[in-house]
Chain A
Amino acid sequence: RKEVEQDPGPFNVPEGATVAFNCTYSNSASQSFFWYRQDCRKEPKLLMSVYSSGNEDGRFTAQLNRASQYISLLIRDSKLSDSATYLCAVNIPGTYKYIFGTGTRLKVLA
């Protein structure tokens, strides 16, 4: 099993739709998780942290499922500007090292 896995997509959704991505991780002791957004030819930008209790920021909700070892990102009321690649980052316990997923590509269609 890969350390961190994401469905590469693309997820093609119409404007206004709700879309969710998952990111599975193999190390059950991982404690820190993040979602990043990366636009074409740009750097990854921090979107949100993922807390045990879940985290919501406007249209975005991140959740952690420790039992099944995955994190999720839910985007409600999708906008054209949400089109990007979404990367998850999972901490290696006891280190400052993060493993990034290969990303899930989202295309929001008009």
Chain B
Amino acid sequence: DTAVSQTPKYLVTQMGNDKSIKCEQNLGHDTMYWYKQDSKKFLKIMFSYNNKELIINETVPNRFSPKSPDKAHLNLHINSLELGDSAVYFCASSLRGYEQYFGPGTRLTVT
């Protein structure tokens, strides 16, 4: 019955590696988001897709590439991981941009 799910929950990797995080929602929402929450707990939006179309693309290094194969899925691929990428990444979804529901988060640690 999970509404918004993410995998993996934890990700520990070395600098320079490439990794992906996956997100799925079963709420029938049309909009999905990626957020980054850093060590200071600031929740910052990175990307958003509405009906598979990219509608929000914040100032994020181009090592980060989102992909939405359909309305229910939004993935995040990160190339050449850096120490500063360590954070918790949250996926969220909403209907027409209203209240957002968050996934459990992916805790990324780059060593």
Which residues of A are interface residues toward B (Cβ below 8 A)? 32, 34, 42-46, 49, 85, 87, 89, 91, 95-100, 102-103
Closest chain-A Cβ to B94's Cβ sits at a distance in Å of 7
In the complex, the answer to whether A89 meets B100 with C-beta atoms within 8 Å is yes
Given contacts A43-B90, A44-B43, contact A98 B100 (CB under 8 A): yes
Residues from chain A with Cβ under 8 Å of B43 in the complex: 44, 87, 100
Closest chain-B Cβ to A7's Cβ sits at a distance in Å of 14
In the complex, the answer to whether A103 meets B90 with C-beta atoms within 8 Å is no
In whole angstroms, how far apart are the Cα atoms of A39 and B4 in the complex? 17
Chain A, interface SS category: strand
Which residues of B are interface residues toward A (Cβ below 8 A)? 31, 40-45, 48, 50, 55-56, 90, 94, 96-105
Closest chain-A Cβ to B108's Cβ sits at a distance in Å of 14
Closest chain-B Cβ to A104's Cβ sits at a distance in Å of 11
Residues from chain B with Cβ under 8 Å of A46 in the complex: 99-101
Residues from chain B with Cβ under 8 Å of A102 in the complex: 40-42
In whole angstroms, how far apart are the Cα atoms of A100 and B105 in the complex? 16
**22 pairs, A vs B, C-beta closer than 8 Å:** A32-B97, A32-B98, A34-B100, A42-B104, A42-B105, A43-B102, A44-B90, A45-B102, A46-B100, A49-B99, A85-B41, A89-B100, A96-B31, A96-B48, A96-B55, A96-B94, A96-B96, A96-B97, A97-B56, A99-B45, A100-B43, A102-B40
Closest chain-A Cβ to B55's Cβ sits at a distance in Å of 6
Residues from chain B with Cβ under 8 Å of A100 in the complex: 42-44
In whole angstroms, how far apart are the Cα atoms of A99 and B44 in the complex? 7
User: CB-nearest residue of chain B relative to A32?
Assistant: B98
In whole angstroms, how far apart are the Cα atoms of A32 and B100 in the complex? 12
Residues from chain B with Cβ under 8 Å of A103 in the complex: 41
Closest chain-B Cβ to A102's Cβ sits at a distance in Å of 5
User: Which of B40, B56, B105 contacts A95, CB < 8 Å?
Assistant: B56
